[in-house]
């Protein structure tokens, strides 16, 4: 089953791939891997801003991470690589949070669980979940990815 068919089966509609906000490209395919630049959480076209432990609660943080994961998939689709995914290798989740907030791994599960839902066992990956004081544009979460791809 194609990834597009799987998304349709799950009732998942990908957002439009976001344009870069600085001097970088969204995806670089090299040496059998696609490196996807950090993606921000756009939910219904609106950037989810704030800090976990301050003005964003855990469920909203998880939703934001999932939105980042959807944007990763959208960037792969835009690059013509979505159906070439062999394995999600690693996700890096950056969570804007207060020093007292320590549930970054739970937040990151929003993106991780999406990858498993879409790709099955091929979606299981290594991961980092890191708390940071601020992210670009005031985003609550940012997630990047390394994806093994066929034929590149």
Per-residue pLDDT of the chain (152 residues; tens, 9 = 90+): 799 999 999 999 999 999 998 999 999 999 999 999 999 999 999 999 999 999 999 999 999 999 999 999 999 999 999 999 999 999 999 999 999 999 999 999 999 999 999 999 999 999 999 999 999 999 999 999 999 999 76
Tell me the CA distances in angstroms from 149 to 31, 48, 98, 107, one per residue in order: 9, 30, 36, 26
Which residues are CB-contacts of 59 (< 8 A; sequence separation ≥ 6)? none
Answer whether 0.95 is exceeded by the pTM. Answer: yes
Listed residue (51, 53, 23) closest to 37, CA to CA: 23
Task: Domain 3-18+27-149: state its class.
Answer: alpha beta
The domain spans of the chain are 3-18+27-149
Give the C-alpha separation, 84 to 90, whole Å. 16
Give the C-alpha separation, 97 to 141, whole Å. 9
């Amino acid at each position: 089953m194609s990834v597009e068919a799987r998304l349709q089966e799950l009732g998942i509609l990908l957002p439009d791939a976001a344009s870069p906000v600085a001097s970088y490209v969204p995806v670089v395919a090299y040496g059998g891997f696609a490196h996807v630049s950090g993606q921000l959480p756009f939910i219904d076209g609106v950037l989810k801003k704030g800090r976990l432990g301050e003005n964003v609660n855990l469920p909203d943080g998880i939703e934001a991470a999932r939105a980042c994961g959807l944007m990763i998939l959208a960037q792969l689709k835009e690059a013509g690589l979505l159906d070439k995914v062999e394995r999600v290798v690693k996700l890096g989740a950056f969570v804007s949070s207060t020093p007292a907030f320590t549930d970054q791994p739970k937040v990151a599960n929003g993106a991780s669980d999406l990858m498993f839902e879409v790709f099955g066992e091929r979606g299981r990956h290594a991961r980092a979940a890191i708390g940071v004081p601020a992210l670009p544009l005031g985003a609550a979460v940012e997630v990047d990815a390394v994806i093994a791809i066929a034929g590149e």
